Structure 1
């Protein structure tokens, strides 16, 4: 498992959502979402096989103590690169080349371990597996060989065509690409309400209800 995430620091995390709920509140929600993501990842493969590629300072983050506890046993890497696409490619390239990698972000707190295991299992049939998000991006990328992920650095991220652009970049690299299930990213108040309703027992849903 590879989680690519930003430390949930007020003013830096969930900035679109912060326009409606405030910077401190957005950071708390981002922290809850990250905690759900870490939990699902650990349940899927065990902490010894979990990696976090991080940008930002967790010591300044909301719920920093909870995050530190959740990351016990994880391997944590610092993100490298001038933009998110480059940092994403570097994160994959830093992973062991002899094992498939399932990579996610921190914007889908409703995911469960079974979603991650299913994406990983599909690498038996495909070189890469991509899960679409409702906003045109993607929520998961599973790679049979993470060493073949350099093309990710060329993909425009955070756009309505990121999923399609990523699919094409992977195919251009000679990879056989397959899909997995669709999930909804949390970027707006509408997203947050829908995801909290869908997964009411998550840290994210509890944080959303406490507003």
Structure 2
């Protein structure tokens, strides 16, 4: 019981790009214009930050490629992303976390995620025995990765050299975690293309992403 009471609050990490036309969500074009894709990306990022703002945490850190904008809520620190491939950038993000507290990293592509789900998974009562939290994505990747004892070295063991955005990316990361106790989170769909964006908007119809999607859907010539 004492260990539960003194458990340090987690660090929440979001890795994202500044939502600028031509730099984000390019697979939504067509049917979107680059400006519409950036609007959807901003809505997804804003929803993600708002949701994580409801999860108990010691620190909330946005690891950003670009500059923060009015979509950044209060209470968030901002750190620049490292250079290199996505595997290297995700690895470096964990280097910002407090090694004495668990850290959970998510991207900007799952605006439907649940604050309650994350709060329960990271609660002191649910932590004992866990080494890794893993959120598989429907496309074979992953939408969340958490470490009970975060460091760039530990993250690198799981991530460095793993090809990202492939159908077996998640499986390879889990293979790297052999010998560790992994707590799997529910499968979520990433907003990677128009069909996925429609699915995600339907999962959380009251979110800012869904509102933006419906407005754009009414403007674009989509048949599929």
TM-score w.r.t. structure 1 length? 0.89
1:129 alignment partner, one of 133, 149, 164: 133
- 1:190 is aligned to 195
- 2:149 is aligned to 145
Q: Distance in 1 between matches of 2:64 and 2:45?
A: 11
| 1:74-113 superposed matches below 5 A | 74-113=76-115
Paired residues in the alignment total 200
Alpha-carbon deviation of 1:118?
3.2
The answer on 1:168 being equivalent to 2:175 is yes
Higher helix content, 1 or 2: 1
- 1:22 is aligned to 33
Q: 1:102–1:119: 8 Å Cα contact kept in structure 2?
A: no
The answer on 1:9 being equivalent to 2:13 is no
The answer on 1:45 being equivalent to 2:59 is no
Aligned to 1:3, the other structure's residue is in SS state strand
Q: Distance in 1 between matches of 2:155 and 2:211?
A: 36
Aligned to 2:82, the other structure's residue is in SS state coil
Q: 1:37–1:111: 8 Å Cα contact kept in structure 2?
A: yes
Q: Which runs of 5+ in 2 are unaligned?
A: 1-11, 217-224
Q: 1:156–1:162: 8 Å Cα contact kept in structure 2?
A: yes
Q: 1:120–1:142: 8 Å Cα contact kept in structure 2?
A: no
Q: 1:131–1:138: 8 Å Cα contact kept in structure 2?
A: yes
TM-score w.r.t. structure 2 length? 0.84
Aligned to 2:177, the other structure's residue is in SS state helix
Aligned to 1:178, the other structure's residue is in SS state strand
Alpha-carbon deviation of 1:177?
2.0
Q: 1:53–1:79: 8 Å Cα contact kept in structure 2?
A: yes
Q: Distance in 2 between matches of 1:45 and 1:207?
A: 28
